[in-house]
């Protein structure tokens, strides 16, 4: 029975992982790759202060001259399916950095493949944790179906991605951040507190669980996420904004799929817990 | 939200209630441990190899990275 329990969770996670791999490689990773051009110095958003002089606005968008096909940033990568190949193709006539990308096709493919693999592992993990939570909830009398699984998925998204992102937004490469360990610690705390808070609101009865739920949801943000001393990001804010928005949007879809699939399999699986009268 | 469960497909006769409790708990704990382990390796482990492989996923999923 345990084997079936784990297999259905893994299968749901793999379905969500495939969706994540497709959506994120298509919509989010290209934005990340563009940001890496700024991180590596191949593209420059603003001219150095000493060069800007009295006409900083005129020189402010140096990347429009240096960047070739990628200069419009968000606009260039907006069309669905455009992906990174369009960057390489459109930029190859204009600048040195595009040349590097155009010749690095195999490396890029491997990178997309590794990202897809990591998505599968990540969502398989989230799927297992979610199904474990199904098991706990059923022990307390809750019934999990595909429909309620969708709500579980969205709740998981809020707990694990949206709420932590309110303190630590999805990070663009090259942007400044506080120390890694302290951010990881805050992230784990925020995710656990948010998940527990949502569970209190969803399953608790009466004012006390509701109050506890609100407090748990607010607590990580009252404490505050660790942030760097100053801003050191080199990519245009438009790129960072697009990255964060797309990361959150695709995350919502993936979590919805995860919850729906996990609920679907759970509903159909012969469950030993709470399904059989004692 | 309540729906009819698939009791008819289950074959519960071989288990006693205490046996069911134990099995269920083992499943829950296994799923939690394995699931958290997978998320840790994909999203948090400091190993350079794991970091490099999962780099883009970490950024995109919102895990703290670098």
Interface test with A, best of B64, B65, B66 (most A CBs within 10 A): B64
pLDDT on residue A272: 57
Residue B45 lies in a domain: yes
pLDDT above 70: residue A85? no
Q: Quick check: helix, strand or coil at residue B41? A: helix
SS3 of chain A: helix, strand, coil, percent, to 5: 75, 0, 25
pLDDT tens column, B9-63: 444 444 444 433 444 888 899 999 999 999 999 999 999 999 999 999 999 999 9
Task: Give the mean pLDDT of chain A.
Answer: 81
Residue B16 lies in a domain: no
Please state, in angstroms and rounded to a whole number, the distance separating the CA atoms of residues A188 and A168: 11
pLDDT above 50: residue A196? yes
Task: Identify whether the C-beta of residue B64 lies closer than 8 Å to the C-beta of residue A183.
Answer: yes
DSSP line for A176-244: --S-HHHHHHHHHHHHHHHHHHHHHHHH--SHHHHHHHHHHHHHHHHH-----SS----S-HHHHHHHH
Please give the average per-residue pLDDT across A31-54, as a whole number.
75
Residue B50 lies in a domain: yes
Secondary structure element (H or E) that encloses residue A160, with its range: none
Interface test with A, best of B49, B62, B65 (most A CBs within 10 A): B62
Domain count, chain B: 1
pLDDT tens column, A210-262: 999 999 999 999 999 999 888 888 899 999 999 999 999 999 999 999 999 99
Residue B43 lies in a domain: yes
pLDDT tens column, A67-76: 333 333 334 4
User: From residue A231, how far is each of A33, B58, B63 by CA, in Å?
Assistant: 20, 21, 19
Given CB atoms, is A5 within the 8 Å cutoff of chain B?
yes
- Which of A88-92, A175-179, B9-13 has the largest mean confidence? A175-179
Residue B15 lies in a domain: no
The boundaries of the domain holding residue B46 are 34-66
Chain A environment of B35 (Cβ under 8 Å): 9, 124-132
ipTM for the complex shown = 0.78
pLDDT on residue A233: 85
Burial class from Cβ neighbours inside 10 Å (0-12, 13-18, 19+) for residue A39 reads middle
Which B residues 21-50 touch A at CB under 8 Å?
A: 21, 23-24, 26-32, 34-44, 46
Cβ-based neighbours of A154, under 8 Å, separated by 6 or more? A252, A255, A256, A259
* DSSP-assigned letter for residue B15: -
Given CB atoms, is A267 within the 8 Å cutoff of chain B?
yes
Please state, in angstroms and rounded to a whole number, the distance separating the CA atoms of residues A275 and A148: 16
pLDDT on residue A102: 38
Domain residue extents for chain A: 2-177+228-268
Task: Identify whether the C-beta of residue A196 lies closer than 8 Å to the C-beta of residue A216.
Answer: yes
Q: Quick check: helix, strand or coil at residue A93? A: coil
């Amino acid at each position: 029975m345990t084997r079936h329990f784990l297999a259905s969770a893994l299968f749901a996670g793999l379905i969500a992982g495939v969706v994540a791999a497709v959506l994120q490689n298509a919509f989010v990773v290209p934005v990340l790759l563009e940001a890496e051009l700024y991180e590596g110095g191949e593209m420059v958003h603003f001219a150095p202060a000493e060069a800007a002089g009295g006409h900083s606005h005129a020189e402010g968008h140096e990347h429009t001259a240096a960047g070739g096909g990628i200069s419009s940033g968000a606009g260039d990568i907006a069309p669905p399916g455009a992906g990174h190949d369009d960057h390489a193709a459109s930029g190859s006539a204009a600048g040195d950095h595009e040349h590097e990308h155009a010749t690095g096709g195999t490396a890029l493919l491997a990178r997309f493949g590794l990202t897809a693999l990591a998505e599968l592992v990540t969502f398989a993990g989230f799927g297992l944790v979610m199904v474990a939570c199904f098991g706990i909830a059923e022990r307390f009398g809750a019934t999990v179906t595909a429909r309620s699984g969708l709500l579980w998925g969205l709740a998981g998204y809020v707990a694990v991605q949206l709420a932590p992102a309110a303190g630590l937004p999805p990070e663009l490469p090259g942007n400044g951040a506080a120390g890694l360990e302290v951010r990881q610690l805050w992230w784990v705390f925020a995710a656990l507190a948010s998940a527990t808070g949502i569970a209190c609101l969803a399953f608790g009865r009466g004012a006390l669980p509701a109050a506890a739920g609100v407090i748990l949801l607010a607590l990580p943000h009252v404490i505050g996420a660790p942030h760097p001393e100053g801003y050191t990001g080199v990519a245009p804010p438009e790129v960072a904004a697009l990255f964060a928005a797309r990361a959150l949007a695709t995350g919502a879809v993936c979590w919805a799929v995860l919850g729906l699939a996990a609920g679907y399999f759970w509903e159909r699986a012969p469950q030993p817990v709470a399904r059989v009268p004692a | 939200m309540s729906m009819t469960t698939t009791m008819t497909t289950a074959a519960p006769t071989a288990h006693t209630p205490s046996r069911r409790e134990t099995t269920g708990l083992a499943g829950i704990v296994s799923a939690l441990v394995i699931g958290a382990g997978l998320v840790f390796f994909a999203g948090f482990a400091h190993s350079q190899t794991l970091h490099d492989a999962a780099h883009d996923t970490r950024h995109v999923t919102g895990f703290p990275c670098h």
